[in-house]
Structure 1
């Protein structure tokens, strides 16, 4: 899935999230990358982030990555509408399913 957002200044990269059948997640953010785990029961979701690889990110991108991981960690529910999956908590995050 790819985050439905604008790219960061100076970069065309958008965060992606890949969730395996066992709940293991791989995150490639604006700059950082890492793993985590999703647990889903009905429309309830819990995300636990693992350590993120620090790739000498510019401060603005590193902060955006940290905020994105925090928002995923705070998400309590999720829903799918067509090719979009939303994680809903204090901040809603919308991802487009990669269909290619």
Structure 2
């Protein structure tokens, strides 16, 4: 009887760990993430995205900011940019922001490994979950 209880406990533990691991690998809705990039010269700012529970996105880029929307089905992802605020950006930062929004709009698939989300398209983008 004790052996049966231990086996059942072990099976439940393995099942719970499997579910938790799978949940961690899902698309990171409800998460704030930072682009894996170095700051531009003269700035400490690095682009980040805040992904809402329904895929709504708040973007803080090199200089500009805005909104967008992720739609996810399996490993397919579509990003639709919304209005982007100009904020009187220097030309170099404005171009970097435009290039990043273009790259986000071109993503096709995604994968997640732990706290890293890779958006895969013509230019792969890696974002890391912000720690507390």
Instruction: Give the TM-score normalised by the residue count of structure 1.
Output: 0.98
What residue in structure 2 maps to residue 44 of structure 1? 76
Q: Which structure: larger Rg?
A: 2
| Bigger helix share | 2
1:63 aligns with 2:95: yes
Secondary structure of 1:72's counterpart equals: helix
Q: 2:44 aligns with which of 12, 15, 34?
A: 12
Shift of 1:43: 0.6
Moved over 3 A (4+): none
Whole-angstrom CA distance in 1 between matches of 2:131 and 2:39: 20
What residue in structure 2 maps to residue 31 of structure 1? 63
Whole-angstrom CA distance in 2 between matches of 1:91 and 1:46: 14
Gaps of 5+ in 2: 1-32
Whole-angstrom CA distance in 2 between matches of 1:94 and 1:6: 12
Secondary structure of 1:67's counterpart equals: helix
Whole-angstrom CA distance in 2 between matches of 1:90 and 1:50: 21
Secondary structure of 1:7's counterpart equals: coil
Instruction: Give the TM-score normalised by the residue count of structure 2.
Output: 0.75
Whole-angstrom CA distance in 2 between matches of 1:51 and 1:2: 20
| Bigger strand share | 1
Gaps of 5+ in 1: none
